[in-house]
Structure 1
Amino acid sequence: MNPIVWAGGALREPGEPVVSATDHGLTVGDGIFETIAVRDGVPFALSRHLARLEYSADRIGLAAPEVEQVRDAVAAVLKAGEGALTRIRVTVTSGEGPMGSARGSGPATLIVTGVAAPRPRVCHAVRAPWKRNERSALAGVKSTSYAENVVMVEYARSKGADEAILANTYGNLCEGTATNVFVERDGEILTPPLASGCLAGITRGLALEWAVRAALPIRVTAPGELTMAVLDEAIEGRAHLAVTSSTRGVQHVSSLDGTELLPGALLRKLSAVYELAAEKDADPPVPHRR
């Protein structure tokens, strides 16, 4: 099935040009995006994804599109997909710009695409030899400047894996290239804090909320509490790992650096709690910012 594409206010034919050659999102990666899982024809947690899109836009000084415009575009793509789509991507760039880092005057480019890609069924991970810079201007931003992650995923693939897990510049556990990381250790579930430089994943946030509601022992760790040494504990069987993302849900890490890992009982419960809650509530409300 060809991707369904909406751009410039309308659905487009497959292969139809939709951006200028001088679009700043193309020339320098000046843009933001969201990837949204589609469950039974419904975009899951759409409100939270659009709230994060606005947050990312604000962080990089980009004018976010009107929420209703994005919702209408998503609805048009879903309708054209006739129930076959499994994933929606919303991309926003600053539009046409000069051949350099400085932005042009816009207007912004909005593209919504839908695909029928299979959901990843397993996660084989490796440790990345690179680090995430928690002090980067893009830390915590869902940016289209994704070449760094592409390099790391290709590294993982060269090792027979599909995900790479990163430390930050302090050597603390941070995240995967497209996932957040959860650790089961000593009778509780732990995940690195946003201060580590990891993305505020939509699935991460919902997993934390729904786990607390289900009385699972779960918490965000203090900065520096989870070092990369916890991955050695997982290989030794003293800890367990899972990753989270919109397309994976809460997924057990089946192997790390070529070593098979056993699933953790608490992480299995977390996955079950997440899936059950997601089936009941397709668009959880956006938490109020304090």
Structure 2
Amino acid sequence: MDLAIWAGGRLRAPDEPVLTAVDHGLTVGDGVFETCAVHHGAAFALTRHLARLEASARGLGLPPLPMDEVREGVRAVLAAAGPSAGRLRITVTGGPGPMGSHRLPPEEQRPTVVVVAGPAARTATARAVRVPWVRNERSPLAGLKTTSYGENVVALARARSLGADEALLADTRGRLCEGTGANVFVETGGELLTPSLETGALAGITRELLLLWGPEAGLPVREARPDELAWAVLDDVLDGRAHLALTGSVRNVTPVVNLDGTDVAAGPLCHEAQRVFLARLEDDVDP
């Protein structure tokens, strides 16, 4: 895989070690990250992604992030990757620390910053499955983009084993929440609705932009009320009474054409949302 990797103030070879064995991001998942699409050689919506990175770090209790170092890494990998880059990942961990879950005193913490750019595969549609596990909307990590991704790894592996590319999760109250790496939009009753953040869903950047750009283009798109989208709305998708789309930083807006192994129709609002987003994407690389 053609990767450009930056860590410790310089570019690294793909097989070069960049972490100590006691980095807290490695031992206990104590870190945050962001993934951006790379569009025409630039990281799309980088300002919004960096703001969310800092918000996730605050929520996790990490010290203030070395943002100058982060930006330096972004510039370096984008220049090194060239036109092949389609995805950028920024990871910041708590740095070297104890082998347990407790952290070093704040004055002794030295965060680790790793930035990677590489190719990305995109598809125009998506296949999704429901999985039996739930998002805990009362978790201290709810709504944060952290490196504690074990639940997502398990859920996505289930989806892949069933021939899908995304797993859909409810919250503990039986409300539709999100995918492992995507937000969900449901086309129902003449509107395009995305679950409330009260479900524990991540405030996705693509989700945020679609909620902004959609109404400007005349699309009836909004965030649902907290209890408006029950898990059972996915039965309506299977029955053809509703439609589904996924949003994410690399996938953009992708209508779902297969749910739980059954082909489903992509709705007209889902298609229009995809068109609107791709058109606006060309207007401004850092909206």
Give the alignment of 1:144-159 within 5 angstroms: 144-159=147-162
Aligned equivalents of 1:49, 1:7: Cα separation in 2: 19
Corresponding pairs, count: 284
The alignment's C-alpha RMSD in Å is 1.0
Aligned equivalents of 1:14, 1:225: Cα separation in 2: 46
Q: Does 1:126 align with 2:129?
A: yes
Match of 1:22 in 2: 22
Q: Deviations over 1:120-165 (max 9, x none)?
A: 4431111010000000010000010001000000111111111110
Give the alignment of 1:204-215 within 5 angstroms: 204-215=207-218
2:242 partner letter: A
TM-score where L is the length of structure 1: 0.96
Q: Does 1:241 align with 2:244?
A: yes
2:192 partner letter: I
Aligned equivalents of 2:88, 2:62: Cα separation in 1: 21
Moved more, 83-92 or 119-128: 119-128
TM-score where L is the length of structure 2: 0.97
Aligned equivalents of 1:9, 1:153: Cα separation in 2: 33
Q: Does 1:227 align with 2:207?
A: no
- Contact between 1:65 and 1:110, CA under 8 Å: does it hold in 2? no
Match of 2:179 in 1: 176
Aligned equivalents of 1:3, 1:27: Cα separation in 2: 24
- Contact between 2:187 and 2:267, CA under 8 Å: does it hold in 1? yes
Aligned equivalents of 2:28, 2:60: Cα separation in 1: 14
Q: Structure 1: which 5+ runs fail to align? A: 285-290
- Contact between 1:53 and 1:64, CA under 8 Å: does it hold in 2? no
Match of 1:111 in 2: 114
1:65 CA drift (Å) = 2.5
Match of 1:141 in 2: 144
1:83 alignment partner, SS class:
helix
Match of 1:267 in 2: 270
1:82 alignment partner, SS class:
helix
Aligned equivalents of 1:275, 1:182: Cα separation in 2: 16
Q: Does 1:41 align with 2:44?
A: no
1:117 CA drift (Å) = 2.5
Aligned equivalents of 2:31, 2:242: Cα separation in 1: 37
Aligned equivalents of 2:63, 2:47: Cα separation in 1: 18
1:254 CA drift (Å) = 1.3
Match of 1:288 in 2: none
